[in-house]
Amino acid sequence: MKARNSGPEQSRRQLTGELERLEVIFRLSPVGIGITRMRDGALIDVNEAFSQLLGYNRSELLGKTSAELGLWADPDERDRTFARILSGDVIQEMPSKIVRKDKQVRDVMFSATISTIADENYLVGTLRDITAELQAERERRITERRLQLSLDLMPIVVFHQDLDLRYTFIANPQVPKTGETIIGGFDHDLFTPEDAKVTSAIKQRVIESGIGERHEIRMTIAGEIRWYDTLIEPERNADGAIIGIIGVAADITERMQREQRYRAVLEDQTEVIARYRRDGTMLYANEVYCRFFGKTEAQIVGHSWEPVAHPDDIALVEAKLNELSVNNPVVVIENRVYSGQGEERWMQFVNRGLYDESGVLREIQSVGRDITERKRNEQALAKYQARIYELLEYSDKLREKQRKDIARDIHDQLGALLTSIGFRIDSLKHRFRDDEAIRNEIDLIRSLVKQANAAARTICNALRPPVLDDLGLASACQWYMKDWSALVGIAAQGRFPSRLPDCSEQLSTDLFRAFQELLNNVAKHAHANGVKVSLSSGRQGLRLRVSDDGRGFAVDEARSKGYGLLGVKERILRHRGQMTIESGKTGTTVTLTIPWQGEA
């Protein structure tokens, strides 16, 4: 009898164990999961990730509907989505926006399906936060647009067209025309009718959708077939409205020709795959692995062999492999190796440890792919970004010099002229001392001259305050803080050192301009009553801190919307400095730190 019941009992225990495992997966999943009862729309269960994403306690969510909680940023989208679900659709990775308890709007991927349990229908939905991913994508696009500053270094075509697809700018044109003759023209003025139709259709689609596109386009230029890797992005104004397109096209004809010549060879190429014991004895290597490293299967399998790594990467590879454990069975390593032809290549290896029931590492499976081209692109991008910073720094230096020159000219020439006018007025007043009407008119003219003098001083200070060059950074910041406080009506307190260590003119200028921008941000956005400023120096370097008691903000939102902080950050990065932002519901503190070694 005991033996006959062992089967059902074992099945019951297995089912119980499986349910417990599912419960653990539900609770610990990093993806937010919520279960809704279909007949009344009430949430009956959520996991921790779901609660954290929405900013609620679990008890605040249970029993409430999404409408009561106001979870959907767009109620119409909610209604359309639930109509699809009720019609039998399974929602998979649908981009949407949700509203947290604190009213922050987050971008998410929403998936949902209906499950029936005991004749009751339930909606099982998942939310995956993609806000950071979208922010990273926006920052990537900003970086791409800045690369335009280094056009003279890159053999690419860069162009701009308005909403009518009329060219307003082009650099490095590949057609037999100059940039001046292209401006004002259209695609059909430059290309064959067929090529113009293809390119114009892509550009029009970008304008209508607001989504950039990238294509490898075949074109006939001066009777010769050329290939271009073309990226088209919409250009938006400050209000977000599309006002044209920006395009970049790189000639990839040689690459395409090489690909066509060797396509037959490359079509069967896949990742290099190998499996080996912890002591290095190879158990398996696929054909691609053998071909890449110039070995036969007989030379590898059964022998202790490993790819020849770059000497500088060996310590990294060993350290990463030592991180393998039962709880961390996969490590990804990017390192340089030498192919069978002796060529240095960058590879990405995904290494998975295979453990026995006792937790002992028995084998390692390694899947590698060649990432040399990606690494080269990353290095090239780093060079371009460095060049951009150089160009921006040069532009700022030139602008500061122009400001200084203009301020000096106003001071010297206009100041001398106004002084001369003042002397002439005094002479006239003495000559007509007995004529009260003329004296009154002369007094009015003198008052206007004084106002002109004051206006000239204000303009000079705005262009380039003399105190920055004459007395240094600390005095300039102190002067500007007092002048700003009087102008905007916000109380300001400051702690400034009587003397700072010597620093370059460029650093003084960058910190002063950053300080101006931070105070202007307070006036524009903070709704503050008071500001505290401190400038100090220590063994680590210079530190400038601005704190206000106004309305705080979400730091991520500030980075995405700008608030003038992008320019501040760029100035600080030139000197290898850091910018930290602390903000809550009330008050914001921005700290700029410049290390001494970064000041050189």
Round to whole Å and give the CA distance between 570 and 517.
12
Domain residue spans in the chain? 31-129, 135-260, 268-370, 376-463, 472-599
- Tokens 């398996």 correspond to 284
Please check the confidence at residue 142 and state whether its pLDDT lies above 70: yes
Residue 464 has pLDDT above 70, yes or no: no
Residue 162 has pLDDT above 90, yes or no: yes
Lowest mean pLDDT among 195-199, 298-302, 383-387: 383-387
For 176-231, the DSSP string reads: SS-HHHHTT--HHHHS-HHHHHHHHHHHHHHHHH---EEEEEEEEETTEEEEEEEE
31-129 architecture in CATH? Answer: 2-Layer Sandwich (3.30)
In whole angstroms, give the CA distance from residue 359 to residue 357.
5
**pLDDT digits over 304-316, tens only?**
888 888 899 989 9
Say if residue 116's pLDDT is above 50.
yes
SS (H, E, C) 508-525: HHHHHHHHHHHHHHHHHH
Residue written as token pair 């705005």: 462
Number of other CB atoms surrounding residue 299 within 10 Å: 14
pLDDT for 261 beyond 70: no
User: Domain 135-260 belongs to what architecture?
Assistant: 2-Layer Sandwich (3.30)
**pLDDT for position 138:** 85
Which pLDDT does position 2 carry in this prediction?
45
Range among 251-260, 330-339, 570-579 rated most confident:
330-339
Mean pLDDT value of segment 261-276: 62
Question: Looking at residue 265, what is its pLDDT?
Answer: 42
- Ranges 99-108, 257-266, 331-340, 483-492: which has the least confidence: 257-266
Amino acid present at 438 = I
Q: What pLDDT shows up at residue 266?
A: 34
Question: Does residue 264 surpass a pLDDT of 50?
Answer: no
Residue with the bigger pLDDT between 64 and 569: it is 64
What CA–CA distance (Å, rounded) separates 335 from 317?
Answer: 7
Question: Which DSSP symbol is given to 141?
Answer: H
Specify whether the CB–CB gap between 579 and 592 falls below 8 A.
Answer: yes
More confident residue, 341 or 559: 341
Query: Nearest CA to 169 among 156, 178, 177, 160?
Result: 160
Arch. (CATH architecture) of 268-370? 2-Layer Sandwich (3.30)
pLDDT given at position 330: 94
Q: Residue 540: which pLDDT band, with cuts at 50, 70 and 90?
A: confident
pLDDT tens track for 87-113? 888 899 999 999 999 999 999 999 998
The pLDDT score that the predictor gives to residue 118 is 77
Identify the three-state secondary structure at position 87.
coil
Backbone dihedral angles phi then psi of residue 49, each to the nearest 5 degrees: -60, -35
Question: Which CA distances in Å does 563 have to 454, 521, 555, 559?
Answer: 31, 7, 11, 8
pLDDT at residue 600 tops 50: no
- Position with higher pLDDT, 200 vs 565: 200
- Torsion, CA 464, CA 469, CA 471, CA 473, rounded to 10: 70
The CATH homologous superfamily to which domain 472-599 belongs is Histidine kinase-like ATPase, C-terminal domain (3.30.565.10)
Burial (CB count <10 Å: 0-12, 13-18, 19+), residue 364 = buried
pLDDT tens across 56-75, in order?
Answer: 999 999 999 999 999 999 99
* pLDDT given at position 412: 57
pLDDT for 555: 72
Is 135-260's fold the same as 268-370's? yes
Model confidence band, residue 272 (pLDDT cutoffs 50, 70, 90): confident
Please write the tens of the pLDDT for every residue from 383-416: 877 777 666 666 666 666 666 667 566 655 666 6
Across all residues in the chain, what is the average pLDDT?
83
Residue 234: its pLDDT value, please? 94
Per-residue pLDDT of 353-383, as tens digits, reads: 999 988 999 999 888 888 889 888 888 887 8
Name the DSSP letter for residue 172: S
pLDDT surpassing 50 at residue 1: no
Return the pLDDT at 409.
60
Helix (H), strand (E) counts: the chain: 22, 20
Q: pLDDT by residue (tens digit) across 199-213?
A: 999 999 999 999 999
How far out from the chain centre does Cα 588 lie?
22
0.85 surpassed by pTM: no
